[in-house]
Amino acid sequence: MRIVHIITRLIVGGAQENTLLSCEGQHDLGHQVTLMTGPAIGPEGSLLERARSHGYSVEIVEGMRRAIQPGKDYATYRCLVHRLRELRPDVVHTHSSKAGIIGRWAAAKARVPVIIHTIHGLAFTASTSQWMNRGYEALERITAPRTTKIVCVADAMRDQSLARNIGRPEQYVTVYSGMETAPFLNPPVPREQIRNHLGLRDEHLAVGTIARLFDLKGHDDLLDLASQLCAKWPNLRFLWVGDGTLREQFERSMIRMNLRDRFILTGLVLPNRIPELTNAMDILVHPSRREGLARALPQGSLAGKPVITYDIDGAKEGVVDGVTGFVLRPFDKIALAASLERLIEDADLRRRMGAAGRSFALERFNFRVMVNALERVYRESFASVA
């Protein structure tokens, strides 16, 4: 098949890693794959080098931007229509909010037979602006009829979309976001070596997060709890993997609380370092306020760590409550502190939950399972439009 993937930008992030693994897997199966993306603008880092290294075609659409810019957006739409008419793909598969809207309209105009869109996270819950959320909701509603299948990374994405009258039930299919599992099972850098590099001694217990230092990721909840937890547990350390616009603000809070030495901030890291850093943790916590299904959850489980998350969006599909970790009432910081304390106190519970989580994640989140599932979605879609 001739397959074109379209994504807004190739920054370091879960939706982008999902897209690259899809492109790589489909290229390895013998399909003719083209990835079209806007410039990788932003502090999160770029995955363009990885995309260009695998052998499929990568094209930069200069006008594609995350921000709403009507002039550039219309120019991007026209550019995509022109290029899709030249490429004549069998499938266009869009990712992320902006590319998902523009790309599907362009594919419909270019008469692409099969148009797929993946919901990695819901655009109409992303902004603190109600006007922006309502705008994206309306755009998703009018764009859904131009979509052959809507792929969700969790059933929760389907349910929330249908509740807003976006698309029809038969359009939706869940394909869990896959990842390379082997590096988590056998990290390229041993746990002792990476912990030593991070300044973690044997007696330290590391509570880790993997997320951009950005709004709605929940780091401020951990800061609110840090004083009481650090006072009770002198061996406690927080390991924050990622970077972002709020780093300086968070560091000022740590200094003000006289806790800067209790936090280890790795800064921006490429995806290939996530397995070794996750392996260095003892507990993974992801107190985000909005996700599709955060990749950090299965990453923690694959590394054999218990995982704590709020019950938002698809979180309960990535963590089995009480078995592989804890799924908490949204934004309940008292429950978050209690769950952390329970795991800090009980090494045997950490081991049991970590082992159960690894088995669960290996079955559900292997990227080859994802690629094979997408293959079935594409072929069934062809049958439905034939």
Region of residue 309 (left: phi > 0; alpha: psi -120 to 50; beta: else):
beta
Please give the Cα distance from 24 to 11 (Å, whole number): 17
- Phi, psi (degrees; rounded to nearest 5) at 131: -60, -45
The pLDDT tens digits for 226-283 are 999 999 999 999 999 999 899 999 999 999 999 999 999 999 998 899 999 999 999 9
Enclosing domain of residue 121: 2-178+366-385
Indicate if 229 and 276 belong to the same structural domain: yes
Indicate if 162 and 208 belong to the same structural domain: no
Cβ within 8 Å of residue 363, ≥6 positions away: none
Picking from 366, 287, 274, 281, the residue whose alpha carbon sits closest to that of residue 326 is 287
DSSP string, 59-126: EE-TT--SS--HHHHHHHHHHHHHHHHHH--SEEEEESHHHHHHHHHHHHHTT-SEEEEEESS-GGGS
- Phi, psi (degrees; rounded to nearest 5) at 205: -110, 120
Indicate if 99 and 245 belong to the same structural domain: no
Indicate if 79 and 122 belong to the same structural domain: yes
Total number of domains in the chain? 2
Element (H, E) at 275: helix 274-279
Indicate if 234 and 120 belong to the same structural domain: no
Picking from 188, 150, 182, 192, the residue whose alpha carbon sits closest to that of residue 168 is 150
Indicate if 90 and 128 belong to the same structural domain: yes
Task: State if pTM tops 0.95.
Answer: no
Please give the Cα distance from 49 to 251 (Å, whole number): 31
The 8-class DSSP code of residue 352 comes to H
Picking from 311, 306, 257, the residue whose alpha carbon sits closest to that of residue 284 is 306
Indicate if 122 and 65 belong to the same structural domain: yes
CA distances from 129 to 122, 124, 134, 259, 362 (A): 14, 10, 9, 33, 38
The pLDDT tens digits for 91-112 are 999 998 899 999 999 999 999 9
The pLDDT tens digits for 173-193 are 999 999 999 999 999 899 999
Indicate if 165 and 190 belong to the same structural domain: no
Please give the Cα distance from 111 to 27 (Å, whole number): 23
Indicate if 161 and 268 belong to the same structural domain: no
Indicate if 154 and 275 belong to the same structural domain: no
The pLDDT tens digits for 190-225 are 999 999 999 999 999 999 999 999 998 999 999 999
Indicate if 194 and 99 belong to the same structural domain: no
CATH number, domain with residue 95:
3.40.50.2000
Indicate if 271 and 314 belong to the same structural domain: yes
